[in-house]
Structure 1
């Protein structure tokens, strides 16, 4: 687990980090046949780094029904950071529409872990087994430790990606301003105003306007 924590922070992208997390779940957590990260955008579900089609199918089913354990975990109350369902078909009808359909997909038991840091909730790491009773207290502990490291690595990777994008955007805008300044004898402020005004009037992101100037030499 310590080696994994270092490995997660060494990944080169958000996607690579998430793939390492979900593959590690199938390797480290006893009973885990498939894993994925579920992120909610409003009531829309996005499945990240699934190791099996079962994960995607389960997430889409929960989105369509508007209920399910992974759905609840991603909505995330800090009071319920972990769930473990030993046998999906034997549980009380908390998810009466989801449970029988999940069984038909091949889900026997499930676990889910809220991915969070001190500042934000990131989604949920969800683990699946085809067999009922596959997950034990030891499995839950291993999953919880993995999710703790995963949340920090996921947050770090996403922040790094956002910073890289911001730097790249700033560079493109600066290059576009230089082109406009040279071709139209504008000041730096005037060149930026031209880009900003074109962006607002045409409802195009400033980064995209700048990219067009760099490619075409003008607007």
Structure 2
């Protein structure tokens, strides 16, 4: 990679890392990633991120224009295309000219109709139940090269890390909320029945087992009975 492009990539990755340290949504982080890809990869006229869940649902995120979302919808309609394949299987997929691309005939024809001749898709390593890809599209043939693949891989790794960090944060918030609800329910039971904390927790667990209901949901029901809801 040319020294100038290497320096630009290093500077932008440092900026992205600093931005990620502040409280920001996944959408905001991904928007930074897609705009950076468009800035550093000359052939990328538009960029987006596709997330695909195991159930077949998908999210088209952080597009630098509406075109990536349109192309994602086309791929999900035909169940074929580089973004889907990169998200689910391949690490990097590059198309130099969709007019002669044999791998995804229906999608390729649609991409050409929308003025897209080149594509570069890089897998995001997100989570067990969700796959993803960073996708770049060019209006000219042969818009991407090996250096672009390297830059895309670096940016995709950053995007994947941001998604995983966000999910871990959401899981932590959920765990803390569950703990707080159980603690509040225990307090209500202790006051209502004159029992200690250990016995109150045992009563909650018994209710959970008898009703085949999650402990957190049982705790919420106890709280609701006190609030009159």
Q: Which structure is larger by alpha-carbon Rg, 1 or 2? A: 2
Q: Equivalent residues in 2 for 1:22-171 (5 A)?
A: 22-42=34-54, 43-76=56-89, 80-91=90-101, 93-116=102-125, 122-171=131-180
Structure 1 vs Structure 2 CA RMSD: 2.9
> Which segments of 5 or more consecutive residues in structure 2 lack a partner in the other structure?
1-9
Displacement of 1:82 in angstroms is 0.8
Q: Relative CO higher for 1 or 2, CA cutoff 8 Å, sep ≥ 6?
A: 1
Q: Classify the secondary structure of the residue corresponding to 2:144.
A: coil
Q: Give the conservation status (yes or no) of the 8 Å contact 1:181–1:188.
A: no
Q: Equivalent residues in 2 for 1:157-196 (5 A)?
A: 157-185=166-194, 187-194=200-207
The corresponding residue for 2:18 is: 7
Q: Distance in 1 between matches of 2:72 and 2:14?
A: 30
Q: Distance in 2 between matches of 1:214 and 1:127?
A: 50
> Which segments of 5 or more consecutive residues in structure 1 lack a partner in the other structure?
none
Displacement of 1:68 in angstroms is 0.6
TM-score, normalization by structure 1 = 0.79
Q: Deviations over 1:103-152 (max 9, x none)?
A: 22332211111112798974211112233332233322221221223323
